[in-house]
Amino acid sequence: MRLETERLVLDLHGVEHFEPLAQMWSDATVVHHIAQPSTPQDAWMRLLRYRGLWPLLGYGYWALTEKASGRFVGDLGFADFHRAIEPSIRGVPEAGWVLAGWAHGQGFASEALTAALAWLDRQGTHESSVCLIAPENKPSLRLARRFGFRDERIVSFSGHDTLLLRRALPA
C-alpha cells in the first residue's frame, strides 16, 4: 500500500500519525470546508477508520509524510463512507484530501493525488471515482478539475449544498 513520489511517502496510517493528525483535524482553518474541528477522540476514530478501509475495501486513505523532514503533511485517499446522498455513491471510491496548514500551497496535494489516482487506475476495479467538495472550496475544486473530476450535480450533504464531481477511469 506504500507509494512514493519525489517529495512524499504515502503510507498506511499508524499510531505514530495520531498526534499530527489530531492537530490538523482540530485546526478550524484547515477543516472549515469539511467539518467542525475534531476532538482527539474524533481524530483517533478517524485514524482507525482510515486504517480499516484497506482490508474491507481494498483501497483507503494514506498518511502523507514529507521525505526530507519526516513531517506529517496530511491525509489523502479513497473511501466508501456510505454517505446518505442522492444519487447514491455507494461502491464508488470517493477521493478526499486534507493537508496540514503549513503544507498548503506547496503542490503536495497535486503530487499525492497524481500517485493515488495512478494507483487506483491500475487496479482497474472501478469505472469511476467521485469527490464531494463544498462550492466555496476553490483550491480543492481547482485540484479536482485539474485531475479530470467533472461537475456532475449539486447534492445535499450534511445539510449543505455540495458539489458531486466524477472522474471516469481513463481508457
Count the neighbouring beta carbons within 10 Å of the beta carbon of residue 148: 14
**Cα torsion through 124, 10, 97, 27, rounded to 10:** 160
Q: What is the pLDDT of residues 34-92, one digit of tens each?
A: 888 999 999 999 999 999 999 999 999 999 999 999 999 999 999 999 999 999 999 99
Residue 12 makes CB contacts below 8 A (sequence gap 6+) with 1, 2, 51, 54, 60, 62, 63
Q: What are phi and psi of 98, to 5 degrees?
A: -150, 130
Question: pTM score, two decimals?
Answer: 0.95
Residue 9 makes CB contacts below 8 A (sequence gap 6+) with 2, 3, 64, 65, 67
Q: What is the pLDDT of residues 114-157, one digit of tens each?
A: 999 999 999 999 999 999 999 999 999 999 999 999 998 999 98
Q: What is the pLDDT of residues 1-37, one digit of tens each?
A: 899 999 999 999 999 999 999 999 999 999 988 888 9
Bridge partner residues of 25 (DSSP): none
- Give the C-alpha separation, 27 to 85, whole Å: 27
- Give the C-alpha separation, 168 to 30, whole Å: 28
Residue 100 makes CB contacts below 8 A (sequence gap 6+) with 20, 23, 24, 27, 30, 72, 73, 74
- Give the C-alpha separation, 79 to 149, whole Å: 16
